[in-house]
Amino acid sequence: MQKILVGIKRVVDYNVRVRVKADGSGVATDGVKMSVNPFDEIALEEALRIRERGEASEVVAVSIGPEEAQQQLRTALAMGADRAILVKTEHPIEPLTAARVLLAIVRKESPDLVIVGKQAIDDDCAQTGPMLAALWERPQATFCSKLEIRGGTAVIVREVDAGLETIEIDLPAVISADLRLNEPRYVKLPDIMKAKKKPLDVLELGSLGISAEPGLRPVRTEAPQPRSKGVMVKDVAELVSALRKRGLA
CATH number for 139: 3.40.50.620
Give the tens place of pLDDT for each residue, 62-90.
Answer: 999 999 999 999 999 999 999 999 999 99
How far apart are the two ends of the chain, measured CA to CA in Å? 59
Q: What is the pLDDT of residue 160?
A: 87
pLDDT of 47 above 90: yes
Cis status, amide bond into 172, omega within 30 of 0: yes
pLDDT value at 249 more than 70: no
Residue 105 has pLDDT above 80, yes or no: yes
Task: Return the minimum-mean-pLDDT range out of 16-20, 55-59, 80-84, 103-107.
Answer: 16-20
Mean pLDDT across 6-23: 90
Nearest to 37 by CA among 156, 151, 177, 161: 177
Neighbours of 127 (CB within 10 A): 16
What's the pLDDT at 114?
A: 98
Q: 3: helix, coil or strand?
A: strand
Tens of pLDDT, residues 153-194: 999 999 888 889 999 999 999 999 999 999 999 999 999 999
53 lies in which domain range? 3-245
Q: Are 114 and 91 in contact (CB under 8 A)?
A: no
For the chain, the C-alpha Rg in angstroms (whole number) is 21
Please tell me the pTM assigned to this model: 0.87
CA 160 to centroid of chain Cα atoms = 19
The confidence score (pLDDT) of residue 169 equals 97
What is the domain count for the chain?
Answer: 1
- pLDDT band for position 22 (cuts 50, 70, 90): confident
Share of the chain above pLDDT 90, in %: 71
